[in-house]
Amino acid sequence: MAGTKALLMLENFIDGKFLPCSSYIDSYDPSTGEVYCRVPNSGKDEIEAAVKAAREAFPGWSSRSPQERSRVLNQVADLLEQSLEEFAQAESKDQGKTLALARTMDIPRSVQNFRFFASSILHHTSECTQMDHLGCMHYTVRAPVGVAGLISPWNLPLYLLTWKIAPAIAAGNTVVAKPSELTSVTAWMLCTLLDKAGFPHPASCLQRQKGATAGVPPGVVNIVFGTGPRVGEALVSHPEVPLISFTGSQPTAERITQLSAPHCKKLSLELGGKNPAIIFEDANLDECIPATVRSSFANQGEICLCTSRIFVQKSIYTEFLKRFVEATRKWKVGIPSDPLASMGALISKAHLEKVRSYVKRALAEGAQIWCGEGVDKLNLPARSQAGYFMLPTVITDIKDESCCMTEEIFGPVTCVVPFDSEEEVIERANNVKYGLAATVWSSNVGRVHRVAKKLQSGLVWTNCWLIRELNLPFGGMKSSGIGREGAKDSYDFFTEIKTITVKH
Protein backbone atom coordinates (compact mmCIF):
# COMPACT_ATOMS: atom_id res chain seq x y z
CA MET A 1 0.00 0.00 0.00
CA ALA A 2 0.87 3.63 -0.18
CA GLY A 3 3.79 5.08 1.77
CA THR A 4 3.76 8.45 3.44
CA LYS A 5 4.45 10.47 0.27
CA ALA A 6 1.46 12.10 -1.41
CA LEU A 7 0.28 9.93 -4.26
CA LEU A 8 -0.50 11.18 -7.71
CA MET A 9 -4.29 10.86 -8.12
CA LEU A 10 -5.65 10.50 -11.65
CA GLU A 11 -9.18 11.34 -12.72
CA ASN A 12 -11.31 10.32 -15.65
CA PHE A 13 -11.79 12.87 -18.43
CA ILE A 14 -15.40 12.80 -19.55
CA ASP A 15 -17.25 15.50 -21.50
CA GLY A 16 -14.34 17.89 -21.07
CA LYS A 17 -14.33 17.55 -17.27
CA PHE A 18 -11.96 15.80 -14.87
CA LEU A 19 -14.10 13.55 -12.68
CA PRO A 20 -13.07 11.58 -9.59
CA CYS A 21 -14.00 7.91 -9.32
CA SER A 22 -15.54 6.00 -6.43
CA SER A 23 -12.68 3.50 -6.31
CA TYR A 24 -8.99 3.46 -7.28
CA ILE A 25 -6.20 1.02 -8.04
CA ASP A 26 -2.54 1.36 -7.13
CA SER A 27 0.03 2.05 -9.80
CA TYR A 28 3.70 1.21 -9.20
CA ASP A 29 6.97 2.88 -10.10
CA PRO A 30 8.75 -0.04 -11.85
CA SER A 31 12.19 1.27 -10.90
CA THR A 32 11.51 1.10 -7.12
CA GLY A 33 8.54 -1.24 -6.80
CA GLU A 34 6.69 1.44 -4.78
CA VAL A 35 3.13 2.67 -5.25
CA TYR A 36 3.28 6.27 -6.46
CA CYS A 37 -0.01 6.84 -8.22
CA ARG A 38 -3.69 5.88 -7.99
CA VAL A 39 -5.71 5.16 -11.10
CA PRO A 40 -9.52 5.32 -11.28
CA ASN A 41 -11.04 1.85 -11.16
CA SER A 42 -13.85 2.78 -13.53
CA GLY A 43 -16.66 0.53 -14.65
CA LYS A 44 -19.94 0.52 -16.54
CA ASP A 45 -21.22 3.84 -15.17
CA GLU A 46 -18.18 5.80 -16.31
CA ILE A 47 -18.31 4.15 -19.75
CA GLU A 48 -22.01 5.00 -19.98
CA ALA A 49 -21.26 8.68 -19.21
CA ALA A 50 -18.31 8.78 -21.62
CA VAL A 51 -20.23 7.17 -24.49
CA LYS A 52 -23.12 9.58 -23.93
CA ALA A 53 -20.74 12.56 -24.08
CA ALA A 54 -19.05 11.17 -27.21
CA ARG A 55 -22.40 10.58 -28.91
CA GLU A 56 -23.55 14.11 -28.16
CA ALA A 57 -20.28 15.60 -29.45
CA PHE A 58 -20.34 13.57 -32.67
CA PRO A 59 -22.70 15.66 -34.83
CA GLY A 60 -20.74 18.88 -34.20
CA TRP A 61 -17.26 17.43 -34.54
CA SER A 62 -18.01 15.27 -37.59
CA SER A 63 -19.52 18.20 -39.45
CA ARG A 64 -16.41 20.36 -39.08
CA SER A 65 -14.23 20.57 -42.16
CA PRO A 66 -11.10 18.39 -42.33
CA GLN A 67 -9.08 21.64 -42.38
CA GLU A 68 -10.56 22.73 -39.10
CA ARG A 69 -10.01 19.37 -37.44
CA SER A 70 -6.49 19.38 -38.83
CA ARG A 71 -5.78 22.75 -37.18
CA VAL A 72 -6.93 21.45 -33.82
CA LEU A 73 -4.71 18.36 -34.13
CA ASN A 74 -1.73 20.52 -35.00
CA GLN A 75 -2.41 22.64 -31.96
CA VAL A 76 -2.44 19.55 -29.73
CA ALA A 77 0.89 18.53 -31.31
CA ASP A 78 2.39 21.96 -30.60
CA LEU A 79 1.27 21.92 -26.97
CA LEU A 80 2.61 18.41 -26.49
CA GLU A 81 5.92 19.38 -28.03
CA GLN A 82 6.18 22.36 -25.68
CA SER A 83 5.73 19.96 -22.75
CA LEU A 84 7.99 17.24 -24.15
CA GLU A 85 10.34 17.08 -21.18
CA GLU A 86 7.52 16.92 -18.63
CA PHE A 87 5.81 14.12 -20.57
CA ALA A 88 9.08 12.22 -21.08
CA GLN A 89 9.83 12.33 -17.33
CA ALA A 90 6.32 11.09 -16.55
CA GLU A 91 6.41 8.30 -19.16
CA SER A 92 9.77 7.06 -17.97
CA LYS A 93 8.70 7.00 -14.32
CA ASP A 94 5.38 5.30 -15.07
CA GLN A 95 6.66 2.68 -17.52
CA GLY A 96 10.23 2.04 -16.33
CA LYS A 97 11.81 2.84 -19.70
CA THR A 98 14.88 5.03 -19.89
CA LEU A 99 14.29 8.75 -19.86
CA ALA A 100 16.49 8.95 -22.96
CA LEU A 101 14.12 6.68 -24.89
CA ALA A 102 11.02 8.55 -23.71
CA ARG A 103 12.67 11.81 -24.80
CA THR A 104 13.82 10.60 -28.18
CA MET A 105 11.12 8.12 -29.16
CA ASP A 106 7.87 7.98 -27.16
CA ILE A 107 6.98 11.63 -26.82
CA PRO A 108 8.39 12.91 -30.16
CA ARG A 109 6.47 10.12 -31.90
CA SER A 110 3.28 11.07 -30.02
CA VAL A 111 3.72 14.64 -31.30
CA GLN A 112 4.31 13.28 -34.77
CA ASN A 113 1.16 11.15 -34.61
CA PHE A 114 -0.99 14.29 -34.26
CA ARG A 115 0.94 16.18 -36.96
CA PHE A 116 0.94 13.23 -39.32
CA PHE A 117 -2.83 12.68 -39.21
CA ALA A 118 -3.46 16.44 -39.22
CA SER A 119 -1.75 16.44 -42.59
CA SER A 120 -2.89 13.13 -44.05
CA ILE A 121 -6.59 13.87 -43.42
CA LEU A 122 -6.32 16.67 -45.98
CA HIS A 123 -5.20 14.43 -48.82
CA HIS A 124 -7.70 11.62 -49.22
CA THR A 125 -9.65 11.34 -52.45
CA SER A 126 -12.51 9.07 -53.41
CA GLU A 127 -13.09 6.84 -56.42
CA CYS A 128 -15.43 7.47 -59.32
CA THR A 129 -16.27 5.20 -62.28
CA GLN A 130 -18.48 5.70 -65.35
CA MET A 131 -20.97 3.44 -67.15
CA ASP A 132 -21.68 5.65 -70.13
CA HIS A 133 -23.65 2.93 -71.97
CA LEU A 134 -26.19 3.01 -69.09
CA GLY A 135 -25.90 6.75 -68.49
CA CYS A 136 -24.53 6.19 -65.00
CA MET A 137 -21.66 7.26 -62.86
CA HIS A 138 -20.68 5.75 -59.54
CA TYR A 139 -18.67 7.31 -56.78
CA THR A 140 -17.75 6.59 -53.19
CA VAL A 141 -18.08 8.75 -50.10
CA ARG A 142 -16.59 8.15 -46.68
CA ALA A 143 -18.06 9.21 -43.35
CA PRO A 144 -16.81 8.87 -39.78
CA VAL A 145 -18.22 5.82 -38.02
CA GLY A 146 -19.37 7.41 -34.72
CA VAL A 147 -17.99 6.72 -31.25
CA ALA A 148 -14.67 4.88 -31.49
CA GLY A 149 -13.53 2.66 -28.61
CA LEU A 150 -9.74 2.75 -28.27
CA ILE A 151 -7.80 0.34 -26.03
CA SER A 152 -4.02 0.58 -25.69
CA PRO A 153 -1.23 -1.35 -23.89
CA TRP A 154 1.52 -0.41 -21.42
CA ASN A 155 4.70 -0.74 -23.45
CA LEU A 156 4.54 2.50 -25.48
CA PRO A 157 1.76 4.22 -23.57
CA LEU A 158 1.28 7.65 -25.12
CA TYR A 159 2.83 6.68 -28.46
CA LEU A 160 0.24 3.96 -29.13
CA LEU A 161 -2.70 5.80 -27.59
CA THR A 162 -2.11 8.87 -29.80
CA TRP A 163 -1.59 6.60 -32.83
CA LYS A 164 -5.28 5.77 -32.31
CA ILE A 165 -6.75 9.06 -31.03
CA ALA A 166 -5.22 11.19 -33.80
CA PRO A 167 -6.59 9.29 -36.84
CA ALA A 168 -9.94 8.66 -35.12
CA ILE A 169 -10.68 12.32 -34.43
CA ALA A 170 -9.03 13.55 -37.64
CA ALA A 171 -11.59 11.47 -39.55
CA GLY A 172 -14.43 13.08 -37.55
CA ASN A 173 -15.16 10.39 -34.96
CA THR A 174 -15.44 11.04 -31.27
CA VAL A 175 -13.67 8.66 -28.92
CA VAL A 176 -13.75 6.84 -25.63
CA ALA A 177 -10.21 5.68 -24.88
CA LYS A 178 -8.96 3.28 -22.24
CA PRO A 179 -5.19 3.22 -21.68
CA SER A 180 -3.50 0.40 -19.78
CA GLU A 181 -4.15 0.57 -16.03
CA LEU A 182 -0.39 0.03 -15.57
CA THR A 183 0.56 3.20 -17.45
CA SER A 184 -2.17 5.82 -17.33
CA VAL A 185 -0.30 8.98 -16.34
CA THR A 186 0.62 10.51 -19.71
CA ALA A 187 -2.90 9.85 -21.05
CA TRP A 188 -4.27 11.80 -18.09
CA MET A 189 -1.75 14.61 -18.73
CA LEU A 190 -2.81 14.68 -22.39
CA CYS A 191 -6.39 15.50 -21.29
CA THR A 192 -5.16 18.85 -19.94
CA LEU A 193 -3.66 19.67 -23.32
CA LEU A 194 -6.80 18.64 -25.18
CA ASP A 195 -8.64 21.07 -23.00
CA LYS A 196 -6.23 23.87 -23.95
CA ALA A 197 -5.82 23.15 -27.66
CA GLY A 198 -7.45 25.85 -29.69
CA PHE A 199 -6.92 27.82 -32.81
CA PRO A 200 -3.37 29.05 -33.23
CA HIS A 201 -4.01 32.35 -35.02
CA PRO A 202 -6.85 34.84 -34.61
CA ALA A 203 -7.18 34.84 -38.41
CA SER A 204 -8.12 31.17 -38.39
CA CYS A 205 -11.07 32.00 -36.12
CA LEU A 206 -12.67 33.59 -39.15
CA GLN A 207 -12.62 30.21 -40.84
CA ARG A 208 -14.33 28.52 -37.91
CA GLN A 209 -17.70 27.09 -38.59
CA LYS A 210 -20.71 28.48 -36.82
CA GLY A 211 -21.12 27.04 -33.37
CA ALA A 212 -17.57 25.75 -33.16
CA THR A 213 -15.66 26.54 -30.00
CA ALA A 214 -11.92 26.72 -29.45
CA GLY A 215 -10.02 23.60 -28.48
CA VAL A 216 -11.03 20.01 -28.71
CA PRO A 217 -14.70 20.38 -27.82
CA PRO A 218 -16.00 18.57 -24.71
CA GLY A 219 -16.94 14.98 -25.46
CA VAL A 220 -14.74 14.58 -28.56
CA VAL A 221 -12.05 12.77 -26.57
CA ASN A 222 -13.04 11.00 -23.37
CA ILE A 223 -10.49 8.98 -21.43
CA VAL A 224 -11.68 6.43 -18.90
CA PHE A 225 -9.14 4.65 -16.71
CA GLY A 226 -9.24 1.21 -15.17
CA THR A 227 -8.73 -2.49 -15.73
CA GLY A 228 -9.48 -4.55 -18.83
CA PRO A 229 -12.07 -6.91 -17.37
CA ARG A 230 -14.04 -4.06 -15.74
CA VAL A 231 -13.88 -0.95 -17.87
CA GLY A 232 -12.38 -2.46 -21.06
CA GLU A 233 -15.17 -5.00 -21.37
CA ALA A 234 -17.82 -2.37 -20.60
CA LEU A 235 -16.47 -0.31 -23.51
CA VAL A 236 -16.20 -3.23 -25.93
CA SER A 237 -19.71 -4.46 -25.07
CA HIS A 238 -21.37 -1.05 -25.35
CA PRO A 239 -23.94 -1.18 -28.17
CA GLU A 240 -23.35 2.49 -29.13
CA VAL A 241 -19.64 1.95 -29.83
CA PRO A 242 -19.53 0.50 -33.35
CA LEU A 243 -15.75 0.32 -33.68
CA ILE A 244 -12.91 -0.94 -31.49
CA SER A 245 -9.25 -0.30 -32.15
CA PHE A 246 -7.20 -2.51 -29.86
CA THR A 247 -3.47 -2.97 -29.35
CA GLY A 248 -2.44 -5.63 -26.88
CA SER A 249 -2.12 -9.34 -26.40
CA GLN A 250 -3.68 -12.17 -28.35
CA PRO A 251 -5.76 -13.61 -25.45
CA THR A 252 -7.33 -10.18 -24.83
CA ALA A 253 -8.05 -9.85 -28.56
CA GLU A 254 -9.87 -13.18 -28.43
CA ARG A 255 -12.10 -11.90 -25.62
CA ILE A 256 -12.72 -8.60 -27.43
CA THR A 257 -13.67 -10.50 -30.59
CA GLN A 258 -16.20 -12.59 -28.63
CA LEU A 259 -17.75 -9.53 -26.97
CA SER A 260 -17.91 -7.63 -30.26
CA ALA A 261 -19.43 -10.45 -32.28
CA PRO A 262 -23.09 -9.93 -31.25
CA HIS A 263 -22.83 -6.29 -32.41
CA CYS A 264 -20.81 -6.94 -35.62
CA LYS A 265 -18.32 -4.26 -34.57
CA LYS A 266 -15.54 -3.04 -36.80
CA LEU A 267 -12.32 -4.35 -35.23
CA SER A 268 -8.69 -3.46 -35.65
CA LEU A 269 -6.43 -5.80 -33.66
CA GLU A 270 -2.70 -5.09 -33.31
CA LEU A 271 -1.24 -7.97 -31.36
CA GLY A 272 1.97 -9.68 -30.38
CA GLY A 273 4.84 -11.18 -32.33
CA LYS A 274 7.61 -13.75 -32.20
CA ASN A 275 9.80 -11.88 -34.58
CA PRO A 276 12.71 -13.56 -36.38
CA ALA A 277 15.97 -11.96 -37.47
CA ILE A 278 17.58 -13.92 -40.31
CA ILE A 279 21.29 -13.33 -40.67
CA PHE A 280 22.97 -14.67 -43.80
CA GLU A 281 26.72 -15.27 -44.10
CA ASP A 282 27.12 -12.25 -46.41
CA ALA A 283 25.57 -9.84 -43.84
CA ASN A 284 27.53 -6.78 -42.76
CA LEU A 285 28.03 -7.82 -39.14
CA ASP A 286 29.37 -4.42 -38.10
CA GLU A 287 25.93 -3.01 -38.80
CA CYS A 288 23.89 -6.11 -38.05
CA ILE A 289 25.18 -6.82 -34.53
CA PRO A 290 24.44 -3.44 -32.89
CA ALA A 291 21.10 -3.28 -34.71
CA THR A 292 20.16 -6.79 -33.54
CA VAL A 293 21.13 -6.00 -29.94
CA ARG A 294 18.84 -2.99 -30.19
CA SER A 295 16.05 -4.94 -31.90
CA SER A 296 16.22 -7.58 -29.15
CA PHE A 297 16.50 -5.36 -26.08
CA ALA A 298 15.19 -1.86 -26.84
CA ASN A 299 12.58 -0.74 -24.31
CA GLN A 300 13.54 -3.85 -22.22
CA GLY A 301 12.43 -6.05 -25.14
CA GLU A 302 8.92 -4.73 -24.53
CA ILE A 303 8.13 -3.70 -28.10
CA CYS A 304 5.85 -5.90 -30.19
CA LEU A 305 8.42 -5.55 -33.00
CA CYS A 306 11.40 -6.75 -30.95
CA THR A 307 13.47 -9.65 -32.26
CA SER A 308 13.27 -12.80 -30.16
CA ARG A 309 14.51 -15.54 -32.53
CA ILE A 310 17.85 -14.97 -34.25
CA PHE A 311 18.63 -17.41 -37.08
CA VAL A 312 22.31 -17.25 -38.07
CA GLN A 313 23.83 -19.07 -41.07
CA LYS A 314 26.12 -21.84 -39.83
CA SER A 315 29.35 -20.55 -41.41
CA ILE A 316 29.21 -17.35 -39.32
CA TYR A 317 27.35 -18.69 -36.28
CA THR A 318 30.33 -18.88 -33.89
CA GLU A 319 31.67 -15.46 -34.82
CA PHE A 320 28.21 -13.88 -34.64
CA LEU A 321 27.43 -15.39 -31.25
CA LYS A 322 30.74 -14.26 -29.73
CA ARG A 323 30.34 -10.69 -30.98
CA PHE A 324 26.61 -10.55 -30.18
CA VAL A 325 27.14 -11.67 -26.58
CA GLU A 326 29.97 -9.14 -26.16
CA ALA A 327 27.74 -6.37 -27.46
CA THR A 328 24.82 -7.48 -25.27
CA ARG A 329 27.03 -7.34 -22.17
CA LYS A 330 27.65 -3.67 -22.95
CA TRP A 331 23.89 -2.97 -23.07
CA LYS A 332 23.71 -1.35 -19.66
CA VAL A 333 20.75 -1.85 -17.35
CA GLY A 334 20.21 1.12 -15.06
CA ILE A 335 17.67 3.31 -13.36
CA PRO A 336 15.55 5.10 -15.97
CA SER A 337 17.18 8.50 -15.35
CA ASP A 338 20.74 7.13 -15.81
CA PRO A 339 21.96 8.74 -19.05
CA LEU A 340 24.28 5.77 -19.70
CA ALA A 341 21.54 3.15 -19.35
CA SER A 342 20.29 1.42 -22.49
CA MET A 343 17.56 -0.38 -20.60
CA GLY A 344 15.41 0.45 -17.57
CA ALA A 345 12.96 -1.62 -15.52
CA LEU A 346 10.31 -4.05 -16.76
CA ILE A 347 6.70 -3.01 -16.32
CA SER A 348 5.65 -5.06 -13.28
CA LYS A 349 6.69 -7.68 -10.79
CA ALA A 350 4.35 -10.22 -12.39
CA HIS A 351 5.79 -9.54 -15.83
CA LEU A 352 9.38 -9.78 -14.56
CA GLU A 353 8.58 -13.15 -13.02
CA LYS A 354 6.96 -14.34 -16.24
CA VAL A 355 9.98 -13.32 -18.34
CA ARG A 356 12.38 -14.97 -15.88
CA SER A 357 10.31 -18.17 -15.94
CA TYR A 358 11.08 -18.56 -19.67
CA VAL A 359 14.82 -18.55 -18.91
CA LYS A 360 14.28 -21.23 -16.23
CA ARG A 361 12.29 -23.35 -18.68
CA ALA A 362 15.03 -22.99 -21.31
CA LEU A 363 17.63 -24.17 -18.78
CA ALA A 364 15.44 -27.13 -17.82
CA GLU A 365 15.29 -28.08 -21.51
CA GLY A 366 19.11 -28.13 -21.71
CA ALA A 367 19.66 -24.72 -23.30
CA GLN A 368 22.73 -22.59 -22.66
CA ILE A 369 22.50 -19.06 -21.23
CA TRP A 370 25.41 -16.92 -22.45
CA CYS A 371 24.79 -13.75 -20.53
CA GLY A 372 22.17 -12.06 -18.37
CA GLU A 373 19.69 -13.84 -16.10
CA GLY A 374 21.41 -16.26 -13.73
CA VAL A 375 24.85 -15.60 -15.29
CA ASP A 376 25.71 -11.96 -14.59
CA LYS A 377 24.91 -9.65 -11.68
CA LEU A 378 22.77 -6.53 -11.77
CA ASN A 379 24.42 -3.40 -10.44
CA LEU A 380 21.76 -1.03 -9.14
CA PRO A 381 21.55 1.71 -6.50
CA ALA A 382 20.06 0.73 -3.12
CA ARG A 383 16.72 2.48 -3.74
CA SER A 384 16.15 0.37 -6.85
CA GLN A 385 16.82 -3.03 -5.32
CA ALA A 386 13.08 -3.80 -5.32
CA GLY A 387 12.63 -2.51 -8.88
CA TYR A 388 11.71 -4.85 -11.74
CA PHE A 389 15.11 -5.04 -13.44
CA MET A 390 16.57 -7.86 -15.47
CA LEU A 391 19.72 -8.19 -17.55
CA PRO A 392 19.53 -8.79 -21.31
CA THR A 393 19.73 -12.54 -21.77
CA VAL A 394 20.97 -14.62 -24.71
CA ILE A 395 19.91 -18.27 -25.07
CA THR A 396 21.34 -20.91 -27.45
CA ASP A 397 21.00 -24.68 -27.94
CA ILE A 398 17.26 -24.46 -27.93
CA LYS A 399 14.80 -26.38 -30.11
CA ASP A 400 12.43 -24.58 -32.47
CA GLU A 401 9.51 -26.24 -30.62
CA SER A 402 10.55 -24.83 -27.21
CA CYS A 403 8.16 -22.31 -25.67
CA CYS A 404 11.06 -19.81 -25.73
CA MET A 405 11.06 -20.10 -29.53
CA THR A 406 7.29 -20.12 -30.06
CA GLU A 407 5.68 -17.91 -27.38
CA GLU A 408 5.91 -14.16 -27.07
CA ILE A 409 8.14 -13.44 -24.03
CA PHE A 410 7.97 -9.63 -24.37
CA GLY A 411 11.11 -9.04 -22.32
CA PRO A 412 14.90 -8.84 -22.68
CA VAL A 413 15.40 -12.46 -23.77
CA THR A 414 16.47 -13.60 -27.22
CA CYS A 415 17.38 -17.01 -28.69
CA VAL A 416 20.17 -17.58 -31.23
CA VAL A 417 20.05 -20.68 -33.43
CA PRO A 418 22.01 -21.79 -36.54
CA PHE A 419 20.61 -22.60 -40.01
CA ASP A 420 21.95 -24.04 -43.26
CA SER A 421 19.90 -22.91 -46.25
CA GLU A 422 17.56 -20.15 -47.38
CA GLU A 423 14.60 -22.53 -47.87
CA GLU A 424 15.13 -24.08 -44.44
CA VAL A 425 15.27 -20.77 -42.58
CA ILE A 426 12.15 -19.40 -44.28
CA GLU A 427 10.21 -22.46 -43.22
CA ARG A 428 11.51 -22.29 -39.64
CA ALA A 429 10.94 -18.54 -39.36
CA ASN A 430 7.34 -19.00 -40.53
CA ASN A 431 6.71 -21.93 -38.22
CA VAL A 432 5.06 -19.98 -35.37
CA LYS A 433 1.52 -18.72 -34.89
CA TYR A 434 2.58 -15.07 -35.07
CA GLY A 435 3.45 -12.96 -38.14
CA LEU A 436 4.19 -9.39 -37.12
CA ALA A 437 7.73 -8.32 -38.05
CA ALA A 438 10.95 -9.86 -39.37
CA THR A 439 14.45 -8.63 -40.17
CA VAL A 440 16.69 -10.01 -42.91
CA TRP A 441 20.42 -9.29 -43.07
CA SER A 442 22.23 -9.97 -46.34
CA SER A 443 24.17 -8.01 -48.95
CA ASN A 444 22.59 -10.03 -51.77
CA VAL A 445 19.78 -7.86 -53.13
CA GLY A 446 18.06 -10.75 -54.92
CA ARG A 447 17.99 -12.81 -51.76
CA VAL A 448 16.69 -9.92 -49.67
CA HIS A 449 13.68 -9.51 -51.98
CA ARG A 450 13.07 -13.26 -52.27
CA VAL A 451 13.15 -13.91 -48.54
CA ALA A 452 11.13 -10.81 -47.64
CA LYS A 453 8.40 -11.93 -50.03
CA LYS A 454 8.19 -15.44 -48.57
CA LEU A 455 8.13 -14.49 -44.89
CA GLN A 456 4.70 -14.60 -43.26
CA SER A 457 5.04 -11.21 -41.65
CA GLY A 458 3.21 -7.90 -41.92
CA LEU A 459 6.50 -5.98 -41.83
CA VAL A 460 9.96 -6.99 -43.05
CA TRP A 461 13.01 -4.82 -42.42
CA THR A 462 16.09 -5.69 -44.41
CA ASN A 463 19.52 -4.54 -43.23
CA CYS A 464 17.84 -2.26 -40.68
CA TRP A 465 15.22 -2.30 -37.93
CA LEU A 466 12.36 -0.04 -36.84
CA ILE A 467 12.59 2.53 -39.59
CA ARG A 468 8.93 3.45 -39.80
CA GLU A 469 7.11 5.02 -42.75
CA LEU A 470 3.78 6.09 -41.28
CA ASN A 471 2.12 6.38 -44.69
CA LEU A 472 2.36 2.66 -45.35
CA PRO A 473 0.42 -0.18 -43.70
CA PHE A 474 1.44 -1.36 -40.23
CA GLY A 475 0.09 -4.58 -38.76
CA GLY A 476 0.46 -8.31 -38.51
CA MET A 477 -0.60 -11.58 -40.12
CA LYS A 478 -1.88 -14.77 -38.47
CA SER A 479 -2.22 -14.36 -34.67
CA SER A 480 -0.47 -10.98 -34.82
CA GLY A 481 -3.68 -9.28 -35.70
CA ILE A 482 -6.39 -8.17 -38.07
CA GLY A 483 -6.25 -4.98 -40.10
CA ARG A 484 -3.58 -2.43 -40.80
CA GLU A 485 -2.85 1.11 -39.58
CA GLY A 486 -1.22 3.97 -41.51
CA ALA A 487 -2.32 7.02 -43.48
CA LYS A 488 -4.82 5.34 -45.80
CA ASP A 489 -5.40 2.23 -43.68
CA SER A 490 -6.33 4.17 -40.54
CA TYR A 491 -8.56 6.46 -42.60
CA ASP A 492 -10.30 3.43 -44.10
CA PHE A 493 -10.76 1.88 -40.66
CA PHE A 494 -12.07 5.02 -38.97
CA THR A 495 -14.59 5.73 -41.74
CA GLU A 496 -17.43 3.87 -43.43
CA ILE A 497 -17.49 3.80 -47.20
CA LYS A 498 -20.60 4.09 -49.33
CA THR A 499 -21.00 3.65 -53.10
CA ILE A 500 -23.47 6.03 -54.77
CA THR A 501 -24.83 5.52 -58.29
CA VAL A 502 -26.26 8.44 -60.24
CA LYS A 503 -28.19 7.96 -63.47
CA HIS A 504 -28.22 11.04 -65.64
Catalytic residue numbers, as ranges: 270
Report the half-sphere exposure of 121 (CA within 13 A, side-chain side): 31
Q: Under 8 Å CB-to-CB from 423, ≥6 apart: which residues?
A: none
Q: How far is the CB of 28 from ligand NAD (least distance, A)?
A: 15
Assess 43 for contact with ligand NAD (CB under 6 A): no
Assess 44 for contact with ligand NAD (CB under 6 A): no
Contact characters 293-322, ligand NAD, x per CB under 6 A:
-----------x------------------
Q: Measured between alpha carbons, how far is 493 from 156 in angstroms, rounded to an integer?
A: 22
Q: Measured between alpha carbons, how far is 88 from 83 in angstroms, rounded to an integer?
A: 9
Q: Beta-strand (E) ranges in 164-205?
A: 174-178
Q: Measured between alpha carbons, how far is 75 from 376 in angstroms, rounded to an integer?
A: 48
User: What residues between 435 and 454 interact with ligand NAD by CB under 6 A?
Assistant: 436
Q: Which of 40, 248, 336, 344 binds ligand NAD (CB under 6 A)?
A: 248
- The one segment of 24-32, 58-66, 101-109, 177-185 that binds ligand NAD by CB under 6 A: 177-185
Instruction: Tell me whether residue 84 is exposed, middle or buried, using C-beta atoms within 10 angstroms of its C-beta: 0 to 12, 13 to 18, 19 or more.
Output: middle
Based on C-alpha coordinates, what's the Rg of the chain? 24
Assess 106 for contact with ligand NAD (CB under 6 A): no
- The one segment of 178-186, 193-201, 211-219, 284-292 that binds ligand NAD by CB under 6 A: 178-186
Q: Measured between alpha carbons, how far is 296 from 292 in angstroms, rounded to an integer?
A: 6
The torsion of the CA quartet 363, 367, 372, 376, rounded to 10 degrees, works out to: 70
Assess 228 for contact with ligand NAD (CB under 6 A): yes
Q: How far is the CB of 156 from ligand NAD (least distance, A)?
A: 6
Q: Which of 12, 62, 173, 180 binds ligand NAD (CB under 6 A)?
A: 180
Q: Which of 65, 249, 337, 462 binds ligand NAD (CB under 6 A)?
A: 249
Q: How far is the CB of 15 from ligand NAD (least distance, A)?
A: 22
Of 401, 381, 397, residue with least CA distance to 389: 381
Q: How far is the CB of 178 from ligand NAD (least distance, A)?
A: 6
Angle, CA of 407, 160 and 25, to the nearest 5°: 80
Q: Among residues 294 and 329, whose Cβ is nearest to ligand NAD? A: 294
Q: Which of 150, 151, 277, 459 binds ligand NAD (CB under 6 A)?
A: 151
Q: Under 8 Å CB-to-CB from 399, ≥6 apart: which residues?
A: 365, 405
Assess 188 for contact with ligand NAD (CB under 6 A): no
* Alpha carbon 66 to chain centroid, angstroms: 26
User: What residues between 369 and 408 interact with ligand NAD by CB under 6 A?
Assistant: 408
Which stretches within 298-409 are classed as H helix? 314-329, 349-364, 403-406
Rounded alpha-carbon distances, angstroms, from residue 450 to 282, 421, 436: 15, 13, 18
Q: Among residues 61 and 465, whose Cβ is nearest to ligand NAD? A: 465
Rounded alpha-carbon distances, angstroms, from residue 365 to 176, 317, 360: 46, 21, 9
Q: Among residues 146 and 435, whose Cβ is nearest to ligand NAD? A: 435
Do residues 54 and 174 touch, judged by C-beta distance below 8 A?
Answer: yes
The number of beta carbons lying within 10 Å of the beta carbon of residue 254 is 13
Q: How far is the CB of 170 from ligand NAD (least distance, A)?
A: 19
- The one segment of 213-221, 269-277, 399-407, 414-422 that binds ligand NAD by CB under 6 A: 269-277
Assess 261 for contact with ligand NAD (CB under 6 A): no
Assess 411 for contact with ligand NAD (CB under 6 A): no
Q: Measured between alpha carbons, how far is 82 from 76 in angstroms, rounded to an integer?
A: 10
- The one segment of 61-69, 221-229, 359-367, 423-431 that binds ligand NAD by CB under 6 A: 221-229
Assess 159 for contact with ligand NAD (CB under 6 A): no
SS3 246: strand
Assess 271 for contact with ligand NAD (CB under 6 A): yes
Q: Which of 71, 115, 164, 178 binds ligand NAD (CB under 6 A)?
A: 178
Assess 155 for contact with ligand NAD (CB under 6 A): yes
Q: How many residues does the chain have?
A: 504
Q: How far is the CB of 273 from ligand NAD (least distance, A)?
A: 6
How many residues touch ligand NAD under the rule CB under 6 A: the total is 31
SS3 132: helix
Assess 490 for contact with ligand NAD (CB under 6 A): no
Residues at the contact surface with ligand NAD, assessed by CB under 6 A: 151-155, 160, 178, 180-181, 227-229, 232-233, 236, 247-249, 252, 255-256, 270-273, 304, 408, 410, 436, 476, 481
